[in-house]
């Protein structure tokens, strides 16, 4: 921690001066997550809590689509992302044209879009979802069939839990697609009794081998309530680090994978963002209006 003290102190001071808050995703490194964040959570919690922010400035310690969601829900506030290159392989896997084509191919079938997409893709959709509410969103529509994009594995994992038929797209998360069912079996052999939690962006055969699957917040809450003595979180590495810091008595087994996009955010560039008020996230108002509607519809689902 001493290595970070200078940046942490400077960020705390700058937050006061700018009337700013830092929203951090669960995949941010512990010095950000535990050191400077005012609000932490999964994508759903960050979207919900973004609507309650009273500060003038939001620094989004996470990836670009999360900053766009915060801006959609707070059009009058300044939203900063410390590194504009913090993208997402899922968001990159689909364009607005792709969505328009899907709508033509499946007329009348509602389009549910994962929040891990650009605002332009959200604008072409009927409703958004996150890993924390995907099933509830799909079932809230009261239809037999939906299109769910762009994460093929999330779509297939939700399809396994619901009676609604799901048409999927072929996008994948570059972090979660690397886990395999063999790896889980090997883990169980090497670490008897280990409880395996998997994010629903993992391939269905990995989720099938796991004891529990849920959003990053659901995984954290599983650990907090069940206190498994030995546990592995099949997700991004910082997630285990952050949850482990809250539960020093539990054994966290790692394999985990790093998200290169999440890791672009550092204490140094959060400090720089607050010093220079860069990089401001802006969304074309014609896109923002329709994209906001899709996010707000999602937030109105219980
Ligand atoms: P959560 O919404 O579960 O936090 O997931 C976001 C994400 O990017 C997972 O890779
Ligand atoms: Fe995107 Fe995967 Fe990184 Fe999450 S972990 S931001 S889904 S690439």
Write out pLDDT tens, residues 224-249: 999 999 999 999 999 999 999 999 99
ipTM of the modeled complex = 0.98
For the chain, give every domain's residue range: 2-86+263-282, 91-173+286-300, 176-258
Give the CA count within 13 Å in the CB-facing half-sphere of 253.
21
Strand partners, 57: 20, 78
State mean pLDDT over 97-103: 98
Strand order in the sheet with 78-80: 39-41, 20-25, 57-61, 78-80
Residue 3 confidence (pLDDT) = 82
Q: Please list every protein residue whose CB sits less than 6 Å from any atom of ligand 1.
A: 26, 42-44, 116, 130-132, 173, 199, 201, 215-216
User: What would the two tokens of residue 94 be?
Assistant: 């689909």
Question: What is the spatial distance between Cα 150 and Cα 91, in angstroms, rounded to a whole number?
Answer: 8
pLDDT tens, 25-34? Answer: 999 999 999 9
What is the homologous superfamily of the domain 91-173+286-300 according to CATH?
A: NadA-like (3.40.50.10800)
DSSP-assigned letter for residue 128: E
pLDDT recorded at residue 167: 98
- Please report the atom of ligand 2 found closest to the CA of residue 201: 7
Mean local confidence (pLDDT), 42-68: 96
Using 50, 70 and 90 to split pLDDT, how confident is the model at 302?
confident
Beta carbons within 10 angstroms of residue 260's beta carbon: 13
Check for a shared fold between 2-86+263-282 and 176-258.
yes
Q: Which atom of ligand 2 is nearest to the CA of 259?
A: 3
Residues whose beta carbon lies within 6 Å of some atom of ligand 2: 63, 88-90, 116, 173-175, 201, 236, 259, 261-262
How many percent of the chain have pLDDT more than 70?
A: 100
CB of 65 closer than 8 Å to CB of 91:
yes
Specify the 3-state DSSP secondary structure of 208: helix
> Mean of the pLDDT values across residues 31-45?
96
pLDDT of 1 > 80? The answer is no
pLDDT at position 159: 98
Q: Which CATH class is domain 176-258?
A: alpha beta
Average of pLDDT values for 81-101? 98
| pLDDT score of 110 | 98
For residue 104, the SS3 value is helix
Q: Positive or negative, the Cα torsion across 299, 69, 263, 149?
A: positive
For residues 287-295, give the mean pLDDT. Answer: 98
Mutate to test the pocket of ligand 2, among 86, 89, 200 (most ligand atoms within 8 A of CB): 89
Closest CA to 119 of 152, 70, 153: 70
pTM of the shown model: 0.96
Task: Give the nearest ligand 1 atom to 200 CA.
Answer: 3
- Among 116, 237, 238, 256, the mutation site with the greatest number of ligand 2 atoms within 8 A of its Cβ is 116
Ligand 1 atom nearest to 88, measured from its CA: 8
What architecture does CATH give domain 2-86+263-282? 3-Layer(aba) Sandwich (3.40)
Average pLDDT score, the chain: 97
Q: pLDDT (tens digit, 9 = 90+) per residue, 174-215?
A: 999 999 999 999 999 999 999 999 999 999 999 999 999 999
- Size of the chain in residues: 302
Least confident stretch, 94-98, 111-115, 254-258, 278-282: 254-258
Cα 17 to ligand 1 centroid, rounded to whole Å: 31
Q: Name which residue sits closest to atom 8 of ligand 2, judged by CA.
A: 88
pLDDT in tens, 147-176: 999 999 999 999 999 999 999 999 999 999
Residue of 253, 203, 243 whose CA lies nearest to 219: 243
**Per-residue pLDDT averaged across 125-152, rounded?**
98
Q: At what angle do helices 5-18 and 267-276 cross, to 10 degrees?
A: 30
């Amino acid at each position: 921690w001493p290595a970070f003290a200078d940046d942490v102190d400077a960020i705390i001071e700058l937050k006061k001066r700018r009337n700013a808050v830092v929203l951090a995703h669960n995949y941010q490194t512990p010095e950000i997550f535990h050191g400077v964040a005012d609000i932490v959570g999964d994508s759903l919690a960050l979207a919900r809590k973004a609507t309650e922010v009273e500060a003038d400035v939001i620094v989004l310690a996470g990836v670009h689509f999360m900053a766009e969601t915060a801006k959609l829900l707070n059009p009058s506030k300044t939203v900063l992302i410390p590194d504009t290159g913090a993208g997402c392989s899922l968001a990159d896997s689909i364009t607005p044209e792709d969505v328009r084509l899907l709508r033509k191919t499946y007329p009348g079938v509602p389009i549910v879009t994962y929040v891990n997409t650009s605002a332009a893709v959200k604008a072409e959709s009927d409703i958004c979802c996150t890993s924390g509410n995907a099933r509830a969103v799909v079932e809230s529509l009261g239809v037999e069939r939906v299109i769910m994009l762009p994460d093929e594995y999330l779509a297939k994992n939700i399809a396994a839990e619901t009676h609604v038929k799901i048409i999927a797209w072929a996008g994948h998360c570059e972090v979660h697609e690397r886990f395999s069912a063999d790896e889980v079996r090997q883990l169980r052999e090497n670490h008897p009794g280990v409880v395996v939690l998997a994010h629903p962006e993992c391939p269905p055969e990995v989720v099938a081998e796991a004891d529990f699957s849920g959003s990053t917040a659901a995984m954290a809450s599983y650990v907090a309530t069940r206190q498994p003595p030995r546990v592995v979180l099949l997700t991004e590495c910082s997630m285990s680090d952050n949850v482990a810091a809250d539960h020093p008595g539990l054994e966290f087994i790692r394999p985990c994978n790093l998200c290169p996009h999440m890791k672009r955010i550092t204490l140094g560039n959060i400090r720089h963002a607050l010093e220079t008020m860069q990089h401001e996230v802006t969304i074309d108002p014609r896109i923002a209006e329709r994209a906001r509607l899709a996010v707000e519809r999602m937030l109105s689902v219980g």
